[in-house]
Amino acid sequence: MIDKFETKILLSGVIALAILNLLNLALGQPFWPITQQINLGSDTNFPAWYSSLLLAFAGLLAYECSTVAKKYNTQGHISLLLFAALLFAMSADEIARIHETLGEFLSKKSGVIDETESSNAPWVYIGGPIVIFVFGLVLFRLRKFLLLVPKSLTYLIIGFSCIVIGGVFLESTTIYLNHDDLQWLWDIEIVAEETLEMVGTIMIMFALVVWRDEITKQNIV
């Protein structure tokens, strides 16, 4: 069972990765093997797997909240179960890059961007609005029973906001950047973007931990 303390430990891991990346950039990335292992912009190293693991933990917490809701006859156990499925899918996507591949394909096939156009983040044209819609739908579905523990809804909103700001809005800015003149800004943007996404996941975890613990406490007392 993941508790508040363990969630804070996971958050410290996110902060450590961000600091390591900033220090590595400040030093001019002197050791490429180390850069490869800690680079937040990669999908094949430790930070990528750590991000995927955080989402999987969030999925497990959502599933646990679903069982708690069902056990104490609290509304929302189906919605929480669906939320768990979404988080597990996001965990897999973090490594498989489905949203980027599919989003780019849909953006080009729909004519939003030219099929021959080279873009840094083409998936956001179609995928960005979909992400925002899905998160909005989840909040709409969960809000009634999360309000039983108001802090839980607040943490969830913060979590979703961090992921949208980092994973959609910040990533969309790379469309206008290039590696020749703005590499330094690109590097900083990557650190900020990935850190915000992981912090957002931590906030979702914290929301679910707070809700689970409070609902359990209310029904045991």
Task: Determine the structural domain holding residue 49 and report its residue range.
Answer: 4-220
**pLDDT: which is higher, 127 or 112:** 127
What SS3 class is residue 144? helix
- Domain count for the chain, please give it: 1
Model confidence pLDDT, tens digit, residues 168-210: 888 777 666 655 666 777 788 889 999 999 999 999 999 999 9
**Separation of alpha carbons 72 and 10, rounded Å:** 29
Give the C-alpha separation, 205 to 134, whole Å.
18
The DSSP string of 131-168 is HHHHHHHHHHHHHHHHTTSHHHHHHHHHHHHHHHIIII
Taking only the tens place, the pLDDT of each residue in 60-108 is: 999 999 999 999 877 788 999 999 999 999 999 888 877 667 666 666 6
**Residue in 135, 109, 105, 110 with CA at minimum distance from that of residue 123:** 105
Residue indicated by tokens 């590696």: 179
With 0.95 as the threshold, say if the pTM is over it. no
Q: Which two tokens stand for residue 173?
A: 């800015």
**How far is Cα 211 from Cα 74, in angstroms, rounded to an integer?**
12
Q: Count the Cβ atoms, other than its own, within 10 Å of residue 33.
A: 6
End-to-end CA distance of the chain: 20
Q: What is the mean pLDDT of residues 142-159?
A: 92
Whether residue 122 is predicted with pLDDT greater than 80 in this model: the reply is no
Percent of the chain with pLDDT strictly greater than 90: 54
- 8 A C-beta contact, residue 169 and residue 193: no
